[in-house]
Structure 1
Amino acid sequence: MKQLVLAVMALGMVLTGAAHGSEKLDNPGGTGGIESLRGATQLEETRPADPMKRFPRDQGVIDSDYVYQPPLIPHTVRNYEVSLNANKCLACHSWKNANEMGATKISVTHYQSPREGQVLSDVSPSRYFCLQCHVPQADAKPLVENNFKRVDSLN
């Protein structure tokens, strides 16, 4: 009985393999009719990259959409280094350089320790990585439909 079950299983595997084998001959390297976020592009093909997003120049301060929203960055940050050893943002936005560079000064809250509220002589380590909260505002169409409305107090 055990040998009969094994023989039936083996026959099923052979037949299934044959069916899949003929599929492969008909459509070698295809997607199998599945469409992904890449579209219906074949896996072996590389489609051209999307154009780079534009960052409108001199757009000034961008209005907030909700209370306590971190200000948006009105310029590109491409090739800005923000690491443990360097922070390109502070070259313009630190209290020391902002007036000379014509940039907005970072908030005084960035100089306070988060737990004790103690005022520090330099930017708090918890506020040093600017791009965790602040993002550049690109001139790009929304990826999904959006009917967000700002709070009444900001209109």
Structure 2
Amino acid sequence: MKRLVLAVMTVGMFLASAVQGAEELNNQAVTNAGGIGGVESLRGVSELETTRPADDFKRFPRDQGTIDSDYVYQPPLVPHSIRNYEVSLNANKCLACHSWKNAKEMGATKISVTHYQTREGQVLSDVSPRRYFCLQCHVPQADAKPLVENDFQRVDALR
């Protein structure tokens, strides 16, 4: 009998808390009618349903040659636009110019020998699968303003 009473009381408390939770959610929905509550981030506050004008396209300097590194072991930056470059399982547009076979003819920088090695240091005849997706590390340098203000300083040895 005690077990039955205890079970009924537990179910009753569970149902009461569920009803109270539903009422709180309903009150929040009324407060944020339309779902346009402001979202605050490091980029500022914005209303979810407010459409702002699109940003201008980033400009990529043409033929700027090698771009200096800002920190040790930084992957080299791409000094040209990569718009419409396909880098997928089936194709890698970067290799058309930067592979060891084509680099001299195309006047491009050769891929580092490290890109032809496995994690264990075994040398491969082609680009290692873990280094195949160039855009994971190498990005084009654009004239874009920083998303968030910062006071980053280059490493002294690289100045």
Shorter-chain TM-score range: 0.7 to 0.9
TM-score (norm 1): 0.73
In structure 2, distance between residues paired with 1:63 and 1:91: 24
1:100 and 2:102 equivalent? no
Question: 1:112–1:119: 8 Å Cα contact kept in structure 2?
Answer: yes
Count residues with an aligned counterpart. Answer: 136
Q: Normalising by the residue count of structure 2, what TM-score does the alignment of the two structures yield?
A: 0.72
- Residue 139 of structure 2 corresponds to residue 144 of structure 1: no
Structure 1 unaligned segments of length 5 or more: list them: 1-5
Q: Which residue of 1 aligns with 2:12?
A: none
**Structure 2 residue 114 is the aligned partner of structure 1 residue 109:** yes
The equivalent of 2:64 in structure 1 is 59
Query: Hey, what's the Cα distance between the residues in 1 that align with 2:46 and 2:124?
Result: 55
Please name the residue that 2:133 is paired with: 129
For the aligned residues, what is the CA RMSD?
A: 2.8
* Residue identity (%): 72
Q: List alignment gaps of at least 5 residues for structure 2.
A: 1-15
> Which protein has the bigger strand share?
2
Q: Does the 8 Å contact 1:74/1:136 carry over to 2?
A: yes
> Which is helix-richer, 1 or 2?
2
Alignment equivalent of 2:122, drawn from 114, 118, 124: 118
Offset at 1:31?
A: 3.0
Question: What secondary structure is seen at the aligned counterpart in 1 of 2:70?
Answer: coil
Check 1:144–1:38 CA distance in 2 against 1; reply closer, same or farther (3 A cut). closer
Structure 1 pair 47–125 and aligned structure 2 pair: CA distance change class (3 A): same
Tell me the CA shift for residue 47 of structure 1: 3.0
Please give the alpha-carbon distance, in whole angstroms, between the structure 1 residues aligned to 2:66 and 2:96.
18
- Which stretch of the first structure deviates more once superposed, 34-43 or 70-79? 34-43
